[in-house]
Structure 1
Amino acid sequence: MSDTIQQDWDPRSESVLDDQIAAYDEIRGRCPVAYSDYLQWSLFHHEDVMRVLEDHETFSNAASRHLSVPNAMDPPEHTHFRRLIEPYFGPAAMSDFAPQCRAIAEAVVDRLPADGEVEAMAEMGQDFALEIQCAFMGWPTCLHEPLRAWVNRQQAATLAGDREALGELALEFDGVIREQLHHRRALGDAAPDDVTTRIMKETVKGRPLSDEEIVSILRNWTVGELGTISASIGILMNYLARNPALQTRLRDEPSLLSTAIDEILRLDAPLMSNRRITTRPVEIGGRHLAAGERLTLLWGSANRDEAVFDDPDEVRLDRDPKDNLLYGAGIHVCPGAPLARMELEFFMEALLTATVELAPASGRSAIRARYPAGGYSAVPLRVRTAKPASMAS
């Protein structure tokens, strides 16, 4: 049994938490499948992570204690729900949302000072994530600040390992969603024709979705988006501030933005991990695992594996995109990837168009986020925009 196995590493040690990326790089070279009491079996190699992603019969997604649609489901149940949600992120849906998405990106960027300092995570990343997600879901702008407060409390409880607080926060968030459902039902035929209303009308296997299933779907979309989009903005702004040559190139060649964004987020993961559970005994990475063992897939390591990515710390725009696990792979590849890519591209396009310089803030450094978050908890930067100083916000 795994509870008798000696620990190979401690994911909660200060040396790991202070810089997860550097720690994972070191562990990957000496113990590609490592055991810990906290994360159980952690997979560091790209090859092993891909094997898990492509063998959902041996490595089940049903690793959550709570209903998670369709994230913690396996086929055939997963297939029915996946077929239901994919059109919400299809080409037609993205085309419809694009003008509003671009307008929000430009509005957030327009708040930058003409010449001064900005904290990229809170002032740019979090603002954009809140506003864009509420707009996509059809939720009112009055939810921006309550959701911001909820995100901050949730992050604090996660870092503190406060399970009781996390449980209360989960119920609170579900209450926000249920209030939106109640509001639309009260409006009847006058309810807005938005993503939330349309999900409420969906069926699966010939029956209406239960409220629990609707809440789960909307929770997964929203909580995941709020965290990963803001983390991605922080990572991208921090990287470009420290790499002025690439910053200049992307201003001159905006057609490279999409490729550059995926590559920057490959080397500095906004989402650090996902979970699986074994359905039968299996050997992976030279370790023998029994049925029922829990695994942690470390995107922050697999996407930097030297066996797949030459010079993994370098942003190279000629890499094969199929190797990048930013949005996962296999049947559980992120269905919201088209939306996330569009949001990030529009934001970065607006940012690079509006600014003439991004640079590290004087005397202050970016602060790494701690597991389970990826990226940074703070990114202080200096910005210089093309607008007159009299317009500084």
Structure 2
Amino acid sequence: MSESRHSDWDPRSESVQADQVDAYDAMRRRCPVAFSDYLQWSLFRHADVMRVLEDHETFSNAASRHLSVPNAMDPPEHTRFRRLIEPYFGPEAMVEFAPTCRAIAEGVVDQLPDDGEVEAMTEMGQGFALEIQCAFMGWPTRLHEPLRAWVKRQQAATLAGDREALGELALEFDGVIRELLASRRDAGDAAPDDVTTRIMNERVEGRALTDEEIVSILRNWTVGELGTISASIGILMRYLAANPELQARLRAERRLLPAAIDEILRLDAPLMSNRRITTCPVEIGGRRLEAGERLTLLWGSANRDEAVFGDPDEVCLDRDPKDNLLYGAGIHVCPGAPLARMELKDFMEALLDATDDIAPLPGCPAVRARYPAGGYSEVPLHIRR
């Protein structure tokens, strides 16, 4: 048995859910490796999270009950699939997609009112995430609205903890992908030369990918991105609205945008956590864990650790980027980071180009998202163009 099975905290309590960032800051100081029935062992400190990320032999990524390529795999299997997918986010692929990315960012921003209210999450974040992800995958625009409705239902089921509904939604999304695969196979040589078709034709260890592997890869590239990109847009727009001095500086010095984006998303995480499972007995943060224990790595806490970042709420534009765990670290560092960075930079540049001012909407504060989501569920703002 593990050293302790009593709950050190309740991640689902109203006090935690009302402001996850504040609650995690407090836990990091009080009980940096904490047990709960809901998340099992939660790691709050940067050093402990880095130890897990750098020791994949002790802390396995194979923590999912379902096939997840390559997210829930360990070497050597992970290595083979990682080698296959990395070129899709390499320099050449990013150069090829850059004009489309910029055009979509400008098109979404053009929908802003000249002088009025906007809800940044639904009107900007979700719309941009849907359009940009479908374009990258080569999916038809007719899927935008069905996917928007699917995301809404998926978020509701997640918040309700409705496992049955989540299972049905997962099958529904997989069905969308399988229909896209079938249409390309029916088209034969006339199938579009896009990311989805290319993945279908990939081989690993000399064999063709199974449909289950293809669906898993495409699901990971879409479902995760729809959530994190939209959350990132909401976080960034809210932060600039609440910090007019930084907003003015970024309007004047666009070269600072990449560093500012990474810093703002460091202190307010769009992706709150990730999972691991122990392969052998281990001690971490003064707690003893046995083999088979489940861990939750809380990015939303580790990236605010005072031992590494000093004042966690300070945006430092010349900070050493190696400490920022926004895209993870180690062998499982997010392969899609170059795409995400380009998408967010293009969106923020288009936003600053098209507006004169982004401000909070008086009397309408932003509403924090609830776990497992990060960021906000509502970000009401006033825009002036």
Equivalent in the alignment of 2:60 = 60
Equivalent in the alignment of 2:383 = 383
C-alpha displacement of 1:308: 0.1
Write out aligned runs for 1:1-393 (5 A): 1-2=1-2, 5-385=5-385
C-alpha displacement of 1:52: 0.1
Distance in 1 separating the partners of 2:4 and 2:346? 50
Distance in 1 separating the partners of 2:322 and 2:293? 28
Distance in 2 separating the partners of 1:314 and 1:106? 30
Q: CA deviation digits over 1:240-294, x for unaligned, max 9? A: 0000010010010000000000000000000000000000000000000000000
C-alpha displacement of 1:133: 0.2
Distance in 2 separating the partners of 1:306 and 1:125? 30
Whichever residue aligns with residue 15 of structure 1, its letter is: S
Partners of 1:3 and 1:37 within 8 A in 2: no
C-alpha displacement of 1:2: 5.0
4+ residue runs of structure 1 moved beyond 2 angstroms? Answer: 1-4
Give the secondary-structure state (helix, strand or coil) at the position aligned to 1:29.
helix
Quote the RMSD (CA, aligned, Å).
0.8
Partners of 1:136 and 1:195 within 8 A in 2: yes
Q: CA deviation digits over 1:298-345, x for unaligned, max 9? A: 000000000000111111101110000000000000000000000000
Distance in 1 separating the partners of 2:4 and 2:80? 39
Give the secondary-structure state (helix, strand or coil) at the position aligned to 1:308.
helix
C-alpha displacement of 1:4: 6.6
Distance in 2 separating the partners of 1:180 and 1:202? 16
Whichever residue aligns with residue 226 of structure 1, its letter is: L
Distance in 1 separating the partners of 2:152 and 2:359? 26
Q: CA deviation digits over 1:24-44, x for unaligned, max 9? A: 000100101000000000000
C-alpha displacement of 1:54: 0.2
Partners of 2:114 and 2:383 within 8 A in 1: yes
Give the secondary-structure state (helix, strand or coil) at the position aligned to 1:220.
helix
Partners of 2:3 and 2:287 within 8 A in 1: no
Partners of 2:62 and 2:276 within 8 A in 1: yes
Distance in 2 separating the partners of 1:191 and 1:366? 44
Partners of 1:266 and 1:324 within 8 A in 2: yes
Whichever residue aligns with residue 140 of structure 2, its letter is: P
Distance in 1 separating the partners of 2:225 and 2:28? 28
Partners of 1:137 and 1:195 within 8 A in 2: yes
Equivalent in the alignment of 1:390 = none
Q: CA deviation digits over 1:92-142, x for unaligned, max 9? A: 000000000000000000000000000000000000000000000000000
Give the secondary-structure state (helix, strand or coil) at the position aligned to 2:309.
coil
Whichever residue aligns with residue 269 of structure 2, its letter is: A
Partners of 2:273 and 2:297 within 8 A in 1: yes
Give the secondary-structure state (helix, strand or coil) at the position aligned to 1:307.
helix
C-alpha displacement of 1:3: 10
Equivalent in the alignment of 1:388 = none
Partners of 1:129 and 1:226 within 8 A in 2: yes
Whichever residue aligns with residue 167 of structure 1, its letter is: G
Partners of 2:228 and 2:271 within 8 A in 1: yes
Distance in 2 separating the partners of 1:53 and 1:38? 22
Q: CA deviation digits over 1:145-192, x for unaligned, max 9? A: 000000000000000000000000000000000010000001000000
Partners of 2:136 and 2:195 within 8 A in 1: yes
Report the TM-score, using the length of structure 2 for normalisation: 0.99
Consecutive unaligned residues of structure 1, counting only runs of 5 or more, are: 386-393
Give the secondary-structure state (helix, strand or coil) at the position aligned to 2:308.
coil
Q: CA deviation digits over 1:58-90, x for unaligned, max 9? A: 000000000000000000000000000000000
Give the secondary-structure state (helix, strand or coil) at the position aligned to 1:196.
helix
Distance in 1 separating the partners of 2:79 and 2:318? 34
Give the secondary-structure state (helix, strand or coil) at the position aligned to 1:274.
strand
Give the secondary-structure state (helix, strand or coil) at the position aligned to 2:297.
strand
C-alpha displacement of 1:376: 0.2
Distance in 2 separating the partners of 1:355 and 1:115? 9
Distance of aligned partners of 1:196 and 1:3 in 2 relative to their CA distance in 1, 3 Å threshold: farther
Give the secondary-structure state (helix, strand or coil) at the position aligned to 1:296.
strand
Number of aligned positions between the proteins: 385
Q: CA deviation digits over 1:352-377, x for unaligned, max 9? A: 11100000012101000000000000
Distance of aligned partners of 1:306 and 1:4 in 2 relative to their CA distance in 1, 3 Å threshold: closer
